[in-house]
Amino acid sequence: MALWYRLLAAAFLLFTALPASYAPSQTVNPEGLISAGHRWPKGESIFVCWQGASPGTYIQERAWVQAAITGTLVGSWSFVGWGECSSTKTHHITITIIDEGKPQDRYDSRSLVGRQPGGAPTQMWMNFTYQKWSNGTVCDTDAERCVKVIAVHEFMHALGVLHEQNRDDVPKHCLDSRVANDANPGDARPVGSFCARSITNYCTLDASGQMQFTMYERNWSRTRRRVDLADCDSETLRALSN
């Protein structure tokens, strides 16, 4: 019996040490931290535009963003437009291209959370050059991966999803990953339980304090060159859009 118990324990430890991609597929519940009062109406056509950029610039990067969003964030809404912002048109999400690298900005790219009151656009800022800000080798060596992963992360915020590690039920080893100046509209509501694989989760430590995959590894398919959204994120988007 003792030998059987040791073998069973060893098999359990081996399974839990495998990358997330080895886990069997299963039906999961929505898991996320969402803004309850800033959801987009069901079936909304969300108009996206580029703010302040010179026409004809960053053509490839813009195409990466559009492909990542329309091919990954599936819900009852649709993302349309994608041209230059205009004062004569209604725009729901405006994207400004920046490379600020300010010390107070932990991350250069950022977004307001969810649908804004009074018809104001949801403002977003994205970095395409990584000259003043960089997260290290990923953005320096694989711009497509960096742009697409960050785009999906920021558009999750624009849809009303906050940082996963800011939940009240976050594991103790993730407390240091919380974003103190997070753009929380004040109506955050947890859905389900904490999801380590969420693309909105900055925590990269396991319970023993060892470094795990960042969103640039765990949420990216190298073979398909596309964002690999976690099941919990997909279910959260369904909950938001229903």
Question: Quick check: is 51 in a domain?
Answer: yes
Mean pLDDT to the nearest integer, 72-92: 89
- 48 SS3 class: strand
Range(s) of the domain holding residue 224: 29-241
pLDDT in tens, 210-229: 666 678 888 888 888 999 89
pTM attached to this predicted model: 0.79
Question: Quick check: is 10 in a domain?
Answer: no
Comparing C-alpha atoms, which of 141, 137, 140 is closest to residue 214?
137
Q: How far apart are CA 189 and CA 233, in angstroms?
A: 15
> What's the token pair of residue 210?
């060892």
Q: How far apart are CA 207 and CA 142, in angstroms?
A: 30
In this model, does residue 104 exceed pLDDT 60?
no
Which of 55-92 are b and which e, b meaning 16 or more Cβ less than 10 Å from the residue's Cβ? eeebeebbebbebbbeebbebebebebbeebeeeeebb
Mean pLDDT to the nearest integer, 110-135: 85
Contact in structure between 39 and 239 (CB atoms under 8 Å): no
Q: Among the listed ranges 42-46, 56-60, 79-83, 106-110, which one has the minimum average pLDDT value?
A: 106-110
Question: Quick check: is 9 in a domain?
Answer: no
Contact in structure between 152 and 199 (CB atoms under 8 Å): yes
Confidence at residue 95, expressed as pLDDT on a 0 to 100 scale: 96
**60 Cβ partners below 8 Å, 6+ apart?**
none
Q: Residue 154's pLDDT band (boundaries 50, 70, 90)?
A: very high
Contact in structure between 157 and 113 (CB atoms under 8 Å): yes
Question: Quick check: is 71 in a domain?
Answer: yes
In CATH, what number is assigned to the domain containing residue 44? 3.40.390.10
Contact in structure between 130 and 158 (CB atoms under 8 Å): no
Rg of the chain on CA atoms, in Å? 19
Confidence at residue 180, expressed as pLDDT on a 0 to 100 scale: 52
Contact in structure between 199 and 221 (CB atoms under 8 Å): no
Domains identified in the chain, total number: 1
Mean pLDDT to the nearest integer, 34-38: 78
Confidence at residue 169, expressed as pLDDT on a 0 to 100 scale: 80
Question: Quick check: is 7 in a domain?
Answer: no
Q: Of 39-53, 177-191, 201-215, which has the strongest mean pLDDT?
A: 39-53
In this model, does residue 15 exceed pLDDT 80?
no
In this model, does residue 163 exceed pLDDT 70?
yes
Q: How far apart are CA 231 and CA 198, in angstroms?
A: 8
Question: Quick check: is 229 in a domain?
Answer: yes
Helix boundaries (H) for the chain:
2-17, 59-72, 137-141, 143-158, 215-218, 231-241
In this model, does residue 207 exceed pLDDT 70?
no
Question: Quick check: is 116 in a domain?
Answer: yes
Q: Tell whether the torsion through CA atoms of 25, 224, 143 and 155 is positive or negative.
A: negative
In the chain, % of residues over pLDDT 90: 28
Mean pLDDT to the nearest integer, 77-91: 90
Mean pLDDT to the nearest integer, 83-112: 78
Question: Quick check: is 147 in a domain?
Answer: yes
Confidence at residue 94, expressed as pLDDT on a 0 to 100 scale: 97
Confidence at residue 183, expressed as pLDDT on a 0 to 100 scale: 56
